[in-house]
Amino acid sequence: MTDTTTVTLEIRRLGARGDGMAEDGTAVALALPGERVTVRREGGRGHLVAIERPSPDRVAPFCPYFGTCGGCAVQHLAAEPYAAWKRGQLVQALSQAHLDVAPEPMIDAHGEGRRRLTLHVRATEGGAEAGLMAARSHELVAIDHCPITVPMLHRAPRVAEALSAPLGHGRKPLDVAFTATEAGLDVDIRGHGPVAEGVRAVLVRLASELDLARLALHGEVLVERRAPAVTTSDLRLVPPAGGFLQATAAGEAILAEAVVAALDKKTKRVVDLFSGSGPFSLAMARTRDVHAVEGDAAALASLDRAVRAVPGLRRVTTERRDLFRRPLLPLELDTYDAVVLDPPRAGAGAQAARIAESKVALVVGVACDVGTFTRDAATLVAGGYTLERVTPVDQFAYSGHVEVVGVFRKPRPVRRRL
């Protein structure tokens, strides 16, 4: 059993997850630097009891679920210190990796709000509730709507609850992933497993009654009433059901613009690694030949359909490949003028090592985790690259996550005349 004590602490700094960190190392959720707080301490964590001396940077959170739901960590922090905290995470990670570069000012990429949301559905007496998980807990926090999402997603909890009915009202825990698209809601239900034909028919009927653009079960499309398209770089893209998409439309536009801006006049051929459905490939294909490499066949098929629908793009080719197990080798990479690298949160350790051995002059790295970004960046720098510029992008507002764009350059080998 964990010992519980009530103590008064001084909060010194804000941790990476948004917890206030006391002078003795205790992490206190919802506390801010400079505050004197009374907490109920259990192990290394403190549960806030009272704020004896509030910080001048404390503001009223706008969400009624803040402090209960585990989604947002820092709605109670004013804008300027919030931006400094997020940029500071990147500064610290770069320093720990011995990368001598000062980040650019942070770019706000929240835009109109999150366009993706995954809700959890659990059974209640006589029905179901949809919501988000409490912080560091498996307890469900039922919500009316999530205020940081785009308005189209505000009805998502009611939709999730309705879709759970033919699946047993969430007696088996369900995850319902929503994406707001130009055609309406794109929904993918996960956690139930295969269903009988009669249940499929009911779900298809519900998709019509709820006016969904598309409904899928574990990525398998049950019905597509309208193509759930999004616009990226002024081009129309239909991601696969349950497929990856940047969290906000503003974030995708800002990241794509940063990638294209990093390419120079000598860049004619680019390889886009971990391309997904290809938002960066499409942006670059207006002026460069692009080879998109991705492990998900459905994502590559979406990119291929988008390319075929737009005349005038440069040549875009695709390759399905597991870049964790089979990274592109230096001889393959050397046929390109630039590499764009946008791996999942785990980073691209094996692929970064092969890039470091290559002669590619320019690498543009995009990452959603500062730790794996700096790890892979250190690998590239050890291989002869210079990290010229690194920019934090705040796509995941009010959370501890920071998106990063880094530009790496290696001197081109000098060709000697015989």
> Which residues are tagged catalytic?
368
Would you say 377 and 369 are in contact if contact means Cβ atoms under 8 Å apart? no
Would you say 182 and 206 are in contact if contact means Cβ atoms under 8 Å apart? no
| Pairing of β 403-409 and β 338-341 | unpaired
d(CA 388, CA 307): 32
Residue in the block written with tokens 């210079």: 386
d(CA 157, CA 141): 11
Cα separation values, 72 from 114, 149, 367, Å: 12, 12, 20
Read off the DSSP letter of residue 414: P
Determine which helix (DSSP H) or strand (DSSP E) holds 389, and give its type and residue range: strand 386-394
Supply φ then ψ for residue 255, to 5 degrees: -65, -45
User: ∠ at Cα 49 (48, 50), nearest 5°?
Assistant: 100
Helices (H), 101-231: 156-164, 197-209
d(CA 328, CA 291): 12
